[in-house]
Structure 1
C-alpha cells in the first residue's frame, strides 16, 4: 500500500485550496477509503522523502491507517482502508498512469522505474503479445477498461494481477501478482473450528456428568422418601438416568398419595373415636353434677378439662383438614355482615372492651370466599385480640392496591419482634407477658394462616402505634369485583 499512498501524496501536493479538497474527495470515492489532511502531532521519523510512510496501525480487526508527510510543514495525509481490495487495485492503476502521464514521453519510462521502487509488489510495462489474455479481456482493454485476473496458481482470494492500457500505445500496465490480505486463512479457520468443537464437546461432557451426578443424588433422596416402591422398575442398559428418575418420582407420588389417604382416614377415625367418648364423659359428668346437691370442685375441674380437650381436638382436626384440603367452595359473601355478626358476639363476651369497626368499603361490597372458613378466621383473630387487649379492639376494612385489607389492632402488650415469624406455626406459644395470663394451644393463628392461604391471601403481624399487636390480611380482588365497587361509589 506504500505505492498507493505515495501517489496520493503526490496528487495532494500538486493541489491548493479548494482544488486540494476536491481532489481528496474524488480520490476517496475512487478508492472507497477515507482520506484526510491532519496536523503532525509527533516528529517525523522516516527521512525517506519518496517512501514517506510513517506507520501502519491496526485500529480494529480490518481497519488500517497509512500516514504520509506532505510538503506543507506539520501536515500529513491520512489514508484509512479495510485491507487491499479490487477497487483499490483498480484505482491505484489509474493514479499510477495519471502520474506517469504528467512527464514528457522521453522521461516516462525513467519516472516509472523510480516509482516502481516504492511499490511493495511488482509493476511492469509489458506488450500485449507477452501476455496470455482471452478475447473478452482484450476487448475490455481496447475499450480502455482495467481488468483484474485472479492468479490460478494461488487460487481465488489469494492473489490478483491487474492490467490497464498504457495510454495510446499497445503496451499494458501490469501490476502483480498482488497477495490479498486474508484475515482468516483456511487452515487457521479449520484449526479454530476443530478446537471449538473439542472445547464444546468437553464442556457438554462436564455439564452432563455434573447433571447426571445430581440426578443420582435426587434418586437417593426419592428413595429415602419412598423406600418401599409399590411399582417395579424395569431397568435395562438403555434406561437413562432421567428415565429412572421419572419412574422413581412416579413411585414417590404414589407413596405420598397413599400417605395422604392414610392421614385423611386417621383424621376421620380420630374425629369419631375421640369425640364420641369425650361427649359421653361430658354427658355422664353433667348427669352426676345434676344429682349432687353440692357440686364437688374436682368434678367441676374434670368438666372444664373435658371442655378444653374437646376444643383442642376440634382445632387440631380443623387444622389438619385445612392442610389436606386442596380446593374450597367459593361464593359471594357480604364481608361487612360477617364482621358485624362476629363483633356482636364478642361485645357480649367482653362488655368492658371497646370494639370498633372502621370500614371504608363501598356499600354492598362482596368478597368471593368460603363463608365457614372466613367465619373461623375472623373468630380466631377477634378472639386472639380480645383476650390480649386492655381496653380497645379495632377492625379496619379498606380496598388497597386491588386487595381487600382487613386489619385488627389491640392495645395489649404487643408482640416480641424475635418471635413474630413463628406466630403462625402450629403449636407455637410465644413466651412473655402477652402469653402469661392467657392460655391457648398454639393452633388458632396456624388455622388463620391456612384459611388465608386457601383464599390466596397473605397475613402479617407487627406492633401498632398503641403498643399492641396488629394482624393484617390482604385478600386479592378480581377485576369484576373492583368494577362493581367503583360503580357503587358513584
Structure 2
C-alpha cells in the first residue's frame, strides 16, 4: 500500500508539472501572437507619427527617432534600435519585396521579448503627401524592440512559482494521503469480509465516488451474509429431508429382519421402495437446484421457442385438465435445459393441486413477455407467498408429503428465472387457485 501511495503521489505531481508545461506553452503561443499584433501596430503608428511631425515642424527625422528611442525606455516598449533604410538593404532581403510591415525576427522567452520589423514608408508618404529629402517611398523604417524584465520581477516570478508548487504539492500530498488511508481501510474491510466476517462495514468517506464504492461493498457483504444464512438453512433442511427416508428405510429393514410373514415383508418392501423414490426425487431436485445456482447464464444458450417447450411438456403430462393458450410465441435466448426444468416444475405443481382446470397462456406486451400458469386448487395464502420460493418451504407439510413434494420445486424455478433475467410472481387466479406469472424483458429474445 505504501508503494501505491508513493506512485500515486508521484503521478499526480507529474501531471501537475506536465499541465504547467503545456499551459506555459499554450500561453506563450497566445502571448506571442498578441505581442506581434501590438508590436506591428505600435511600429506603424510610430512611423506615421515620425513622418507627420517631420512634415509639420520640419524637424530632423534622425533627431525625432532619437527622441522616441529615449522616450520608449520609460514606456512599455523599449526601442533598442531605430533607423530609416532603403528597401533594397541587405537586411531586408528575407522580407523582400516589402509591401507591408514584416518581421525580421520575433522571439519570446521567459524573461526577454525581442522583435525586429520593417515598416515600408511608401503608403505613409502617399497618405501624408510628404516631400522630403530625408524620407522617400523607396525606404523603410527598421525598428528593434527589446523588452527585458528586471531582477525584481524575475525573483518574484521564481518565488511565486515555488510557492504555487509547494502549496499544490502540499494539497496533493494531503489528498493522496487521505485516499491512501481510505484505500488502506477499505483493503482491511475487504480482507475481513473475505475471511468470512460479513458484518464488517466499509469505511465511510465524504467523496461521493468512493462512497458509492463503499456502499457497493456493504451491499456485497450483506448479500454474502444472506447467502451464508440461506446456505446454513439449506444444509440443515437437506439433512432433515435426508434423515426422514433413511429413518424409514432403517425401520423397514429392522421389521424385515424380525418378521417372517409374507404380507409384512411385502409391505416393508413397498415402504422401502417409496423411501428410495423419495431419496431419488430429493437428489434430483437438489442437483437441479445446484445446477440452477451454478449454471453460467452465458453458456449453452440458444434461441428457444417457449411455445414448443410448453407444448411438449403438456403432451408428456397427458392431463386433460390442462388448457394451453398461446397468444404469442415467446422466443428466449437462454439455456434450453433450464427453461424446460422451470416450466416442468410449474406445470407439475399446478397438476398436483388443481381440481379440474389448469390454464397456461403466453402473451407479449410492449416491453415484456408474459407466461401465466394458474389452477383452481386451494391456492396460496397471502402471508405464505413471500416464502414459497425458499428451499424446503412447504405451505402445508402434510399435503406436500401426500403429493410427494420436497419443497425445492419453486426454489429451482425462481433461480432459473433469475438466470434468464426474468421475474416471477405468485397471486390469486380467477379460477380460485394459485396464479404464477413469469415475465421476461423483450430484449432477452
* Normalised TM-score (structure 2): 0.50
Task: For CA contacts below 8 A with separation 6 or more, give which structure has more relative contact order.
Answer: 2
Instruction: Kindly indicate which of the two structures has a greater share of residues assigned to helix.
Output: 2
